[in-house]
Amino acid sequence: MKGLYCKLGETTAEAKFVIQETNLASALGSNQVKVQVKACALSPLDIKLHEDLKFQRDLVPVGREIVGIVLQVGPKVTFFQPDDEVVGILPLDTAMSGLCDAIVINEHHLVQKPEKLSWVEAAGAIRDGLRAYTALHTLARMASGHTLLVLDGASPFGVLAIQLAHYHGVKVLASALSSEDQKFLEQLRPSVGVRESLVARVIGVWDAKVDLVDSCLEETGGLGVDIVMDSGVRLHEEEPEARCLLPYKHDIITLLGVGGHWVTTEQNLQLDPPDSRSLFLKAASLSFLNEEVWGASSARQGRYLHIMKDIVEKLSTGTLRPQLEDPVPLYDATVSMEMVQKKQVRKRLVVQL
């Protein structure tokens, strides 16, 4: 049986993705489930996080967002039985790649897949849906009437965050990194045949004439937005061209309203004393988005499963509609993962033929 793994080098840039033979445990643990994998999503691998947690492995499994059919259950499994269709996320410390034909996983990392939900949609949206829920509900305490700014709104994560916020009565602003992204966001609708747009205003930051701060303040009558979700931040005004479309940290603080909440994905964020002072004067708060935290404590296992169940239910009813590219076969997985890791594409889906 073959799976996709990352072969670590001395630096992150030296990491290579390889297909390796792997073996499946013959006996299941008490709460383990054996799943035949039907589809798997490829998202960027956080190599630094693995190093921080001291996972001593030469080969890091790749592809953790999986969907499939239960083949066998352990003696104490209560949630599932053979032939159930399930979706879930392999834990961060897993030794198995989600691209294997079959995997063994604890039942507490899986939820039932609704019959109407496709394999591809389930695998492609489960992790981004979890990130959106964590950012908006757990961290930002989203409520009806709030105004939300989603930076890079056309990303898979951004699209689900926009849809989730709109569903809860939040006014959504979004930035677009290209003219194609801007057109896509302007045409985003809650359902087919509905004229109302999900995004109240699309801010094309790809256009040098457009100012992010001025646009947000204009849209909110100078009050600023209640919630900001970024997809990375420029720590300095002058940075490499690859990061030029990211917002400057001071700009985010400027457009944040009184009592606002900034949810950041920037792991190395550094705030200068004037920035901290501005947040203090606004009584604003800052949270770091790390969806892996759900696996850090068994005390939150019930909430974690509740979130995943709600995600798949909203996917099956069309409330959440992920924007996914056509899936690729397993033999294209190595090249696809390299492109994802280098951010040449945002996400890839692999289907088992």
Burial of 83 (0-12, 13-18, 19+ CB in 10 A): exposed
**Same-domain pairing of 161 and 258:** yes
Task: Kindly tell me if the per-residue pLDDT of 176 is higher than 70.
Answer: yes
Q: What does the mean pLDDT of the chain come to?
A: 91
**Same-domain pairing of 7 and 117:** yes
pLDDT of residue 241: 57
**Same-domain pairing of 277 and 338:** no
Residue 244: band (very low, low, confident or very high) from pLDDT cuts 50, 70, 90: confident
Torsion angle in degrees (nearest 10) through CA of 213, 218, 221, 224: -20
Helix (H, G, I), strand (E, B) or coil at 224: coil
27 lies in which domain range?
2-124+313-352
pLDDT of residue 93: 86
Q: How far apart are CA 36 and CA 39, in angstroms?
A: 9
245 lies in some domain = yes
pLDDT of residue 301: 84
Average pLDDT of the residues in 299-313: 91
**Same-domain pairing of 154 and 263:** yes
In the chain, what is the greatest distance between 2 CA atoms, to the nearest angstrom? 63
pLDDT of residue 89: 95
Residue 191: band (very low, low, confident or very high) from pLDDT cuts 50, 70, 90: confident
| Token duo for residue 40 | 């798997």
Residue 12: band (very low, low, confident or very high) from pLDDT cuts 50, 70, 90: low
**Same-domain pairing of 275 and 167:** yes
**Same-domain pairing of 116 and 188:** no
Q: How many CA atoms lie less than 13 Å away from 205 in the CB half-sphere?
A: 22
What CATH code is carried by the domain that includes residue 87?
A: 3.90.180.10
- Look at residues 161, 160, 139 and name the one whose alpha carbon lies nearest to residue 149: 161
Average pLDDT of the residues in 136-163: 96
- Look at residues 121, 116, 126 and name the one whose alpha carbon lies nearest to residue 89: 126
CA distances (Å), 205 to each of 155, 157, 200, in order? 14, 18, 16
**Lowest mean per-residue pLDDT among 18-22, 38-42, 123-127:** 18-22
Per DSSP, what are the bridge partners of residue 67?
A: 39, 87
- Total number of domains constituting the chain: 2
Torsion angle in degrees (nearest 10) through CA of 264, 229, 227, 170: -150
Q: Spell out the alpha helix ranges (H) of the chain.
A: 47-52, 119-133, 156-167, 179-186, 212-219, 249-255, 273-282, 301-317, 333-341
pLDDT of residue 239: 64
**Same-domain pairing of 153 and 277:** yes
Contacts of 183 (CB under 8 A, 6+ apart): none
Task: Kindly tell me if the per-residue pLDDT of 9 is higher than 90.
Answer: no
Cβ-based neighbour number of residue 123 at 10 Å:
31
Q: What is the pLDDT of residues 62-87, one digit of tens each?
A: 999 999 999 999 999 999 999 999 99
**Lowest mean per-residue pLDDT among 23-27, 40-44, 103-107, 268-272:** 23-27
Give the global pTM: 0.92
pLDDT of residue 82: 96
pLDDT of residue 236: 77
**Lowest mean per-residue pLDDT among 217-231, 257-271, 329-343:** 329-343
CA distances (Å), 255 to each of 27, 251, 268, 349, in order? 56, 6, 21, 36
Average pLDDT of the residues in 183-201: 85
Q: What is the pLDDT of residues 109-135, one digit of tens each?
A: 999 999 999 999 999 999 999 999 999
- Look at residues 258, 234, 260 and name the one whose alpha carbon lies nearest to residue 246: 234
Which residue's entry shows tokens 């993705």?
A: 17
**Same-domain pairing of 197 and 281:** yes
**Same-domain pairing of 34 and 75:** yes
